[in-house]
Structure 1
Amino acid sequence: MLIDDDQDDQEIFSMALEDINSDIQCVMASNGIAALEKLKAKKPLIPDYIFIDMNMPRMNGMECLQEIQKLDHLKDADVFMYSTSSDETMIEKSKALGAKDFIVKPPGLALLTEKLMQVFKMQAGR
């Protein structure tokens, strides 16, 4: 699942996943509130990975992360913050709130694809 209000970032993320494996399915949400609706539905969504943009309207990434952490069915979910910011304070805060890692959005499809492959390999090997 990708939670990001930027349509271009959603498209690039989808293209990177397609490059990695065309069988990967990614659910998109344009803000934290929409994501939580999907994650709390009667038949709740249980994604293998959740990537949350830091800067979104209505509910920022940190607030969304905190709400996801309250959901019992997602308490062990692999949640990653995903942002253009590389502010060390925000990185540490997001990890303290339960994010597995903080990914700075790479400039370009090839670098994003490489970074996502690293994330998936790292999580698969744990």
Structure 2
Amino acid sequence: MTNALTFMIVDDDADDCEFFHEAISEINPLFKCLTASNGEEALMKLRGEAQPLPDFIFLDLNMQRMDGRKCLAELKKDLNLKDIPVIILTTSASQKDIDETKMLGAFHFMTKPSEYQKLRKEIAFVLSQNKSGHPGITL
């Protein structure tokens, strides 16, 4: 099995997407990163051009057009997408948001850290959980 995983970051903040991409590349330069600026764009890419499908989706909650909650609900209804682990990556630390997204099927909830190294450590922690069916992930 190859350790070249594919990630999708769904966030309307271009700087946050770049921050995430840099952290992923530092964890493993073979990792690939796809981006979408809202839930609607993410679903369109995932249902059309994103092949192979990502191994993990990192999803912001607060976006225009389609927010993260609606996108998560749609992902979990789609037979081809429902098993992709979705990690909520947002500025919110609200227990209500945590509970709601877990109930909708989120794999993990992560409040966006303000420091790069904290983001990198949080991403590495999520990957180390190995619940995505990717044994032997090298970090």
After TM superposition, the score normalised by the length of structure 2 is: 0.85
Question: 3-state DSSP class of the match of 1:27?
Answer: strand
For residues 125 and 60 of structure 2, the distance between their equivalents in structure 1, rounded to whole angstroms, comes to 19
Equivalent position to 1:25, from 29, 32, 35? 32
For residues 106 and 52 of structure 1, the distance between their equivalents in structure 2, rounded to whole angstroms, comes to 14
Corresponding letter in the other structure for 2:107: K
After TM superposition, the score normalised by the length of structure 1 is: 0.94
Establish whether residue 15 from structure 1 lines up as the match of residue 22 from structure 2: yes
Question: 3-state DSSP class of the match of 1:72?
Answer: coil
Aligned length: 125
**Matched residue, 2:3:** none
Establish whether residue 88 from structure 1 lines up as the match of residue 111 from structure 2: no
**Matched residue, 1:104:** 111
Equivalent position to 1:118, from 121, 125, 132? 125
For residues 41 and 50 of structure 2, the distance between their equivalents in structure 1, rounded to whole angstroms, comes to 15
For residues 17 and 42 of structure 1, the distance between their equivalents in structure 2, rounded to whole angstroms, comes to 21
Question: 3-state DSSP class of the match of 1:94?
Answer: helix
Structure 2 residue runs without a partner (length 5+): 1-7
Question: Greater helix percent: which structure?
Answer: 1
Question: 3-state DSSP class of the match of 2:32?
Answer: coil
Structure 1 residue runs without a partner (length 5+): none
For residues 13 and 6 of structure 1, the distance between their equivalents in structure 2, rounded to whole angstroms, comes to 11
Moved more, 72-81 or 26-35: 72-81
Deviating runs (4+, > 4 A) in structure 1? 42-45
Question: 3-state DSSP class of the match of 1:51?
Answer: strand
